[in-house]
Amino acid sequence: MNGALRLPPRPRPRLPRRPATAQRQRAARPFEEIVAEHGALVMRVCRALVGPDDAEDAWSETFLSALQAYPRLRAGSNLRGWLVTIAHRKAIDLLRGRTRRRESPLDGSELAAPGPAAAGDEELRSALDALPPKQRGAVIYRYLAGLPYAEVGKLLGSNATAARRSAADGIANLRKRLSKGTS
Amino acid sequence: MITEKQILDRIEQGFSGSFAGPEAIGTLHRRLAARAERQGLLDVSYRTVDSPLGPLLLAATGEGLVRVAFSREDHESVLSRLASEISPRILRTPRRLDEPARQLEEYFAGKRRAFTVPVDLRLAHGFRRSVLLRLRDIPYGRTRSYAAIAKAAGNAGAVRAAASACSHNPVPLVVPCHRVVRTDGSLGGYLGGPKAKRALLSMEAAV
């Protein structure tokens, strides 16, 4: 390897540049960078939303769908919020498909059941899955995905104020559930 | 009662699972790239290869090899330009570039004199493109002058433009712009630097 070749200053742009008009307003970073930067976060969100067994499917569906839409994404868009929104929709599709595949409707225990590939905090996962849907969503999107309350509200079909309350209630409920047996 | 902070920490750590390791994302990434390719969503794939001239970036579209970049060009900014000039649907996909990588390796080992991989010249336009199309006629180990190439490309007076086409060649090595030199025999410029050009020409002469 020739280390010396790494050092020279950035060369001037050498490829012909097209006029920077409409195209400039679109996302122009290579998608590879987006996967590298946000892949792990999207995976954590998928694990929380659909559980460990389906998380990889949800992750793949999310990034495939994002890749498709990516050239049309406006420059300067909040990528994390965009990806989490796609993951949210993919998780709903996946859970609906899962319900459809079963003869009897979910009784709730399935959602919390650890699969063979399960890893991480099972107790937390079941406590989270036992929360009312809005609280569960608010906790995941606010505290795991790190979205602002306004975006959390949009994802939950409400608003920032309601999302803030749901997140606070969710955390309070988790404290109650997870404290049982520890004190 | 456990504290709010303890809950938040558990939420932050509780879903990392086995995804923390780079292997897990590697597998998912490969699967994503394969599905993207099947669905026609992968516009540009790329990989890097080691070479005696330092790491090279190889990028391909569905039509062929579209870019070979030396590390002095800064691979990251080369990828950004590919994103704006071709498409941002770019993924690292080593498999699609196995063949060009293999041929380059053979070339540097002195075991290959011509490249047979398809080349996509969409980044070169007009006269520059005509010049590049003529370069593959220059045999291994031989050189031509910029003036001769300008003439071959159909405009004997456009020597400077021919030189500029060579120095902007998006697929160096495979389209052998290093075999074009000044009429007085001096080397002229090269994307990979004058040292690289000299090294290539002496390698080809020696084999």
Residue in B closest to A20 by C-alpha: B84
Nearest beta carbon to residue A67 from set B17, B82, B89: B89
Give A-chain residues touching B8 at CB under 8 angstroms: 143, 171
DSSP state of A5: G
- Tens digit of each residue's pLDDT (9 = 90 or more) over A48-94: 999 888 999 999 999 999 999 999 999 888 999 999 999 999 999 99
CATH at residue A183: 1.10.10.10
A94 and A171 housed in the same domain: no
A54 and A96 housed in the same domain: yes
Rounded CA-CA distance A125/A117 in Å is 14
Q: Is B2 inside any structural domain? A: no
pLDDT at residue B187 in the model = 82
**Strand, helix or coil at A26?**
strand
Q: Is B29 on the interface with A (CB under 8 A)?
A: yes
Residue in B closest to A45 by C-alpha: B15
Q: Range of B142's domain?
A: 126-206
Q: Is B179 inside any structural domain? A: yes
pLDDT at residue B206 in the model = 79
Q: Is A137 inside any structural domain? A: yes
Q: What residues of B are labeled active site?
A: 177
> Which residues 67-86 on chain A approach chain B with CB closer than 8 angstroms?
67-68, 70-71
B49 and B99 housed in the same domain: yes
pLDDT at residue A26 in the model = 65
CA distances B172 to A45, B104, B132, Å, are 43, 11, 10
Interface size A-B, in CB pairs within 8 Å, comes to 159
Nearest beta carbon to residue A18 from set B13, B85, B89: B85
- Tens digit of each residue's pLDDT (9 = 90 or more) over B108-137: 999 999 999 999 999 999 999 999 999 989
Q: Is B78 inside any structural domain? A: yes
Q: Is B70 on the interface with A (CB under 8 A)?
A: yes
- Tens digit of each residue's pLDDT (9 = 90 or more) over B165-197: 999 999 999 999 999 998 877 787 788 998 999
Please indicate whether, in this complex, the C-beta atoms of A124 and B77 are within 8 angstroms of each other: no
pLDDT confidence tier of residue A25, bands split at 50, 70 and 90 = low
B201 vs A27, more confident: B201
| Final residue belonging to a domain, choices B59, B79, B108 | B108
- Tens digit of each residue's pLDDT (9 = 90 or more) over B67-86: 999 999 999 999 999 999 99
pLDDT confidence tier of residue A6, bands split at 50, 70 and 90 = very low
Provide the number of structural domains found in chain B. 2
CA distance B197 to chain A (A): 13
Nearest beta carbon to residue A124 from set B10, B35, B77: B10
Please indicate whether, in this complex, the C-beta atoms of A174 and B7 are within 8 angstroms of each other: yes
Give B-chain residues touching A27 at CB under 8 angstroms: 88
What is the pLDDT of chain A when averaged over all its residues?
Answer: 81
CA distance B65 to chain A (A): 16
A104 and A47 housed in the same domain: yes
| Final residue belonging to a domain, choices A120, A142, A164 | A120
Q: Is A143 on the interface with B (CB under 8 A)?
A: yes
Q: Is B11 inside any structural domain? A: no
ipTM field: 0.89
Residue A154 pLDDT > 90: yes
Q: Is B18 inside any structural domain? A: no
pTM: 0.83
CATH at residue B89: 3.30.160
CA distance B120 to chain A (A): 15
Q: What is the dihedral of CA B41, B44, B48, B51, to 10 degrees?
A: 140
CATH at residue B162: 1.10.10.10
The rounded Cα B181 to chain-centroid distance in angstroms is 22
Nearest beta carbon to residue A15 from set B31, B92, B168: B168
Q: Range of A86's domain?
A: 29-120
